[in-house]
Structures are given as structure tokens and as C-alpha cells.
A and B are shown apart, each in its own frame.
Chain A
Amino acid sequence: TEDLDELRQVMGIMQHHDAITGTEKQAVARDYDRLLTDAMVDAQDNARAALRVLTNLSTGQFDSCLELNISVCAFTRESANNVVVTLFNPLAHPSTQFVRVPVKQQQYLVTDERGRAVPSELVPVPWQVLSIQHRPNDTQHELVFKATVDKLANYYIRVLPSPKALQRFERVHSLRHDRNRIEPKDE
């Protein structure tokens, strides 16, 4: 429980009115980032341990991606050929959500635990997100599929060799201004 207590403690600190409203000093904001990140990373060990109990895996990887908010996931970038996405639903009833996974521009097949194909689509990450500094530029798309989760569900993502099985997006209309990318600047 040591890691969970740490996360609880940090979440307690985050109830301070300055943390809620953003009226803390910049150095304090950075310290909040540090505390919260450390606590979340450590608590992932607890989640992994729980997932090992809930599945037949004894040494499961179960990597989490804390940068999904900027459409970045190192795990899917590096091992996109065969990925299992495990979704945990803490609600007391089944729930449905659209899952977005950052991937390279390839053709994918998504299947559920019974091997049934799940409809999926590949959408480009908006270019302005791509231009964010320090963001790796090789996952320029997101794979989108609908997941229905009772408690825990696995979805399997495989790269397809042929272009047939992928339902590629049709670009129906496009009107663009000149896209002057923001050049990265060193700090």
C-alpha cells in the first residue's frame, strides 16, 4: 500500500486552493507536476499487479501512456505490430467508449478477445498537435475503435500486410491555408 498511500497523499495536496485554481507560484506548479507524476508512475505498479491477478499473465508488461493527452504513446510507437490494449472499467455497469491509440500510418486489424474483427479507423493527428515541441513526429495518426467493457477487456491490434482490411478515411473536402509550421526553437 506504500505507493497507493503516496498517491493518496499527493491527491490530498492537490486539493489546496492554489492547486485547484492555478494561483500557485510557477516553481510550486512544477513541484506539483513532479509530485503527481512520481505518484502516478509508482501507482502503475499496483495497477500492473492487479491486472496480473485478473489475467493469466504472470509477467505482463501492461505499460501505461501518460502522454496520450498529446497523442503520444512510446509503447505503441515502438511495438505497433502486435499490441494488446487492456481496458479497465471501474464502474458497476458495462460501459462503451471510443479508444484512440497513437500509431504509425499503417494498416491495422483490431480484434476482441474472441478474435472477432472490431471496426476501426485511422485518423490523422491534427497538424498543430504534431508541431508541438518535443513531440516525436513518427506517430502521426490515431487508431480509433469502439470498446465495450464490462470490467476488463482486451483488444488486439495487428498490422496488416495488405491494404484491403483497413477502412481508410476518405478525404471529402479540403481547404487549406499555407501551412507555415512553427520552427522548433531551443530553449
Chain B
Amino acid sequence: TDELVVQNSQIKLTFVKSTGHLKTIEMNGVSENIEQNFAIYKGAMGNNGIAQNRSSGAYIFRPDGEVTVLSDKIGYTVYDGAQVKEVHQHVNEWISQVIRLYEGVNRVEFEWLVGPIPIDDDNGKEIVTRFKSGLVSNGVFFTDSNGREMIKRELNKREYFTPNVTESVSGNYYPVTARIALEDSQKRLALLNDRAQGGSSLADGQLELMLHRRLLRDDAFGVSEALNETQFGTGLIARGKVFLILNEAESKPTVAERLAQQEIHLPFWKFFSSSNTASVVK
């Protein structure tokens, strides 16, 4: 078959062997087709003198045109150990990812590495990770309130007024400081992040998070600089993690998400010594 299975005692991941992309996730007694891709928004270069036509910059996300989804065949290598299983994906010269399962840990880890974002075509770029599932979420999704409760969001709507949504993508982006989730009557899909990011659900069953941005124009909201970090002359490389939890919709799934959040943010600090000076903990 064209399937590659990577699994531990709790989670089963199925990949499409010929393309290297994730296809299905099974965990917590639930199975769902979940496709994960990286995608690129081209940063708008507008006229900052017109309020609704500003450039994408440090303060605002404003894409120009449609998103480009990197769904082509990707290179990958699988490392299958007893403690940890890893799928190393090589998307292009500046995007890669490790999808990881630790034995006994009930979440899927996506460790992404993006950058330096090329700008030789004179376009700013904003890179997202996108998870597409079959969940019928009816335009509803949830984002956290600075790590506390979850707030219900609805595509193209606001809680207290009827908006005129002129920006179909960024008009539906919300801050995600801890998690973003969606559900239908059967299943719930949640993403937990390791840093504050922007995120949205622009289609039913789909979640996305903004990972890295490199832009060539200032958006005229105050900093007076383009978001174009040129350390080492080439732009920044960013590395981080997104954790995925798939669960039943009815079994208080947010408890598992909150516990996972505590583990993700454990303040472990490692110290190293030479073992010639072996110590004993008092």
C-alpha cells in the first residue's frame, strides 16, 4: 500500500508513503483524517496613507492574494525507537519539521524549523502551519484567553455586532497564546503552542497557526521599520513546537489539554557536570 504507519502504545500516525505527508491520526479511541501542510502568505505592500490599504508589518497581518499551500511531495526519514519515534520532513531549503511521538505521552509533537525566509523575489512572506481535518465545525472554533478560558470564535462574525469583513484571512485571525481548537458532535481537535502566535480556522475542520514572518515594508503603526530581521545577513531562523491532541468531543477533553499545557511549559533547567565529581542529592 501507499501507507506508512508510525505508532506507539497510544497514538497511531499514518503517512502517505509517496508524498511524505500526514494522512490519519488515531488516539484516545478516535480516528480522523488529518492533513498537515505549511503554507505561505505573500505580505501586502500597500499604501500606508490609506487606512484600509496598509502594508503587512509588525503590527498587522495583511496578506496579498491567495495562500500558497506547500502540498507537493516532500522528503522524509523515519526513526523508529522504543522511547521516541520521529518523522523528519524536509519541505524545502528553508522549511523542515520533525513529527514526534514519545512513549507514554498522549500528544503528537510537531517541531517546525522555518527560515531564513528568502526575499530575493522582493516579496515579504508569512509562513503558517495548517491542519486540515474532516470535522464539521460550522465555522466555529475556540482560542484561549491568555492561557485561561476558551473563547468561542465564529468565522466572519463578532459577538456583539455585525462586522464588515473586508479582510477574509486576517479579519478572522485571533491571538493564540496557549491553544486553538475546533470540534463537531463527535470529535475535538486541539493545537497547543509553545509561544504566542496568530491563528484561525478559515474553513470547516481546518486550523492554522502563524509561525514566522519576514516583511519588507513598515505598516506605519509606530515602529518605523519593516519586520525584516537580518541577523547574520540572511534573516532569522525560527524553531518551535506545536502539539496536537485529538479527542472525543463529549468526554471533557479540555482537561487533557490543560494538563498537557502544564507539562509543555514545565520550567525544567538542565545542569551538566563531569561525572568525576559525582554528586549525591541530599
Q: In the complex the two chains form, is B269's CB within 8 Å of A84's CB? A: no
Q: In the complex the two chains form, is A126's CB within 8 Å of B271's CB? A: no
Nearest CB in chain B to that of A153: its residue: B281
Q: In the complex the two chains form, is B83's CB within 8 Å of A121's CB? A: yes
**Which residues of A in the span 112-159 have a Cβ within 8 Å of any Cβ on B?**
113, 119-121, 123-124, 126-129, 132-134, 144-146, 149, 151-154, 156-158
Could you say which of B94, B113, B229, B273 contacts A126, with CB atoms under 8 Å apart? Answer: B113
CB distance from B272 to the nearest CB of A (A): 4
Whether A175 contacts B20 in the complex (CB less than 8 A), given A73-B272, A83-B274, comes out as: yes
Nearest CB in chain A to that of B87: its residue: A173
What residues on B are CB-neighbors of A85 within 8 Å? Answer: 270-272
Could you say which of B90, B233, B239, B277 contacts A176, with CB atoms under 8 Å apart? Answer: B90
Q: In the complex the two chains form, is A62's CB within 8 Å of B273's CB? A: yes
CB distance from A78 to the nearest CB of B (A): 10
CB of B216 within 8 Å of the partner chain: no
Docked CA distance A174–B76 (Å)? 6
Q: In the complex the two chains form, is A169's CB within 8 Å of B102's CB? A: no
Nearest CB in chain B to that of A119: its residue: B83
Q: In the complex the two chains form, is B268's CB within 8 Å of A86's CB? A: no
Docked CA distance A53–B223 (Å)? 47
Q: Mark B81-114, 1 if CB is under 8 A from A, else 0.
A: 1111010101001101010001111000000010
Whether A87 contacts B268 in the complex (CB less than 8 A), given A120-B83, A128-B90, comes out as: yes
CB of B162 within 8 Å of the partner chain: no
Q: In the complex the two chains form, is B90's CB within 8 Å of A113's CB? A: no
Q: Mark B230-272, 1 if CB is under 8 A from A, else 0.
A: 0011100101000000000000000000000001001111111
Nearest CB in chain B to that of A57: its residue: B279
CB distance from A163 to the nearest CB of B (A): 16
What residues on A are CB-neighbors of B80 within 8 Å? Answer: 169-172
Whether A86 contacts B275 in the complex (CB less than 8 A), given A98-B102, A129-B113, comes out as: no
**Contact-size category for A:** 35 or more
Q: In the complex the two chains form, is A26's CB within 8 Å of B281's CB? A: no
CB distance from B146 to the nearest CB of A (A): 11
**Which residues of B in the span 213-239 have a Cβ within 8 Å of any Cβ on A?**
221-225, 227, 229, 232-234, 237, 239
**Which residues of A in the span 67-88 have a Cβ within 8 Å of any Cβ on B?**
68-70, 73, 75-76, 79, 82-88
CB of B166 within 8 Å of the partner chain: no
Q: In the complex the two chains form, is B272's CB within 8 Å of A76's CB? A: yes
Q: In the complex the two chains form, is A56's CB within 8 Å of B90's CB? A: no
Nearest CB in chain A to that of B83: its residue: A121
CB of B40 within 8 Å of the partner chain: no
Whether A60 contacts B277 in the complex (CB less than 8 A), given A120-B83, A126-B98, A128-B113, comes out as: yes
Q: In the complex the two chains form, is B88's CB within 8 Å of A87's CB? A: no
What residues on B are CB-neighbors of A3 within 8 Å? Answer: none
Q: In the complex the two chains form, is A62's CB within 8 Å of B79's CB? A: no
Q: In the complex the two chains form, is B4's CB within 8 Å of A173's CB? A: yes
Whether A169 contacts B90 in the complex (CB less than 8 A), given A79-B274, A89-B268, A128-B96, comes out as: no
Nearest CB in chain A to that of B279: its residue: A55
Extra inter-chain contacts (10) besides given A25-B225, A173-B17, CB under 8 Å: A29-B229, A56-B279, A57-B279, A82-B274, A84-B278, A85-B270, A85-B272, A119-B83, A127-B88, A171-B80
A interface residue numbers (CB < 8 A to B):
18, 20-26, 29, 47-48, 51, 53-57, 59-65, 68-70, 73, 75-76, 79, 82-91, 95-99, 101, 113, 119-121, 123-124, 126-129, 132-134, 144-146, 149, 151-154, 156-158, 167, 169-177, 179-180, 182, 185, 187
Listed A/B pairs (6) with beta-carbon separation below 8 Å: A23-B222, A61-B273, A82-B274, A82-B276, A98-B105, A175-B75
